Amino acid sequence: MTGSVETPLLFSPYQLGPFQLSHRVVLAPLTRNRAIGGIPNEAMAKYYSDRATEGGLLITEATVISPTAAGAPRVPGVYTEEQIEGWKQVTDAVHAKGGIFICQLWHVGRASHTVYQPGGAAPISSSITPISSRWKAQMPDDSFEDYSVPRALETSEVPGVVEDFRQAAVNAIKAGFDGIEIHGAQSYLIDQFLKDNVNDRTDAYGGSLDNRCKFLVDTVNAIASSIGPEKTALRISPVVDYLDGVDSHPLALGLAVCERLNKIQEDFGSTLLYLHVTQPRTMTLIAGADVPKPSEDEGILLLKHLRKAYQGSFISSGGYTKQTAIDDVAHGYSDLVSFGRLFLANPDCVKRLKLDLPLNKYRREYFYSGDPLLGYNDYPFWDEKEEAAPAK
């Protein structure tokens, strides 16, 4: 009698809110700096559609919500009509392949430079504390300089930024996206309000955990009220040390966010689309050897606590291999797993992981180059490699 090998849960269907997914492998958000002039283009349409599968979930690169939101060259926006029109060709291409497409909404806050700000003004943040010089801002000419000293938003200005997020979400739906993911991670603006080593405010947005969560809660409520909670998702990284964004009690912060999301869902009578949590091992890869590497147990412990606390669909990301993804989904630590670099270098990532095929290696030197082909749209599919192989 021949035994059968059971398909790992990672490759099984999943009901994500209103969307029936055919598998649980997700394209993670990856800033690739290919949007010339901030406008989505044909190269981006090819990149995303090549990675789309029937019933597969894709999340865009971080997409800026307003003129003050950018902090790097060639990043797409979703706040002008030209940007909305540019995104339509991308969403159409993904939907033609049967993919589910989510737009990640981004404001970098203090992770910017005056060169990217209207009138050369200071970037906005929760405080006036700049990012330390161990981190560098990528300039329009692709050189690197220190981040600029930010200015702290006035209390009266914060609702205006909430409105920018809300309008960007409305614009994303107009552009054809199936939903949005609020970028509340990696020490960008929302995270700058959440984390106590950055947020030194004494107003309604600083001090206590409740106050530090207020900007996030207001943003989630505003977007969910406009496009529906079932189209609204959030990404957080409470344990990550990136761009000097750390918190003295990261697990307590993560649990506080989960508690408030559960309350929002209770108020709406509907769950949000998902919560997306970045594990600390991701940022070790980005930051380099000078950042202490969290242990594997710390990452799993974080996932277990937040997964148990949040009452909805849960995505995790962070340096996953095929086996660690299979294990985390099998153990119930996550419902879905997002892959970044592996998906960048392997447009047919889902097929390769499922069939255990060899993987292309990514080319780091082209990550942020702006080239529409090299290191972006020239990674071969497995079938193309087979066809190109010499006959034996």
> Collapsing DSSP states into helix, strand and coil, what is residue 236?
strand
Contacts of 381 (CB under 8 A, 6+ apart): 50, 347, 348
Closest C-alpha to 106, from 193, 35, 213, 29: 29
Catalytic: 376?
A: no
3-state secondary structure of 345: helix
Integer CA distances (angstroms), 64 to 48, 310, 340, in order: 18, 27, 19
Concatenate the DSSP letters of all residues of 98-113 into one string: T-EEEEEEE--TTSS-
- Could you give the CA distance from residue 47 to residue 34 in angstroms, rounded to a whole number? 10
Token readout for 381 is 């599919």
Task: Please answer whether residues 173 and 231 qualify as being in contact, where contact means their C-beta atoms are separated by less than 8 angstroms.
Answer: yes
Residue 55 C-alpha from the chain's centroid:
19
CB 331 within 8 A of CB 325: no
Q: Which of 188, 205, 310, 333 is catalytic?
A: 188
The residue type of 132 is: S
**Residue whose token pair is 């496009």:** 227
Catalytic residues: 188
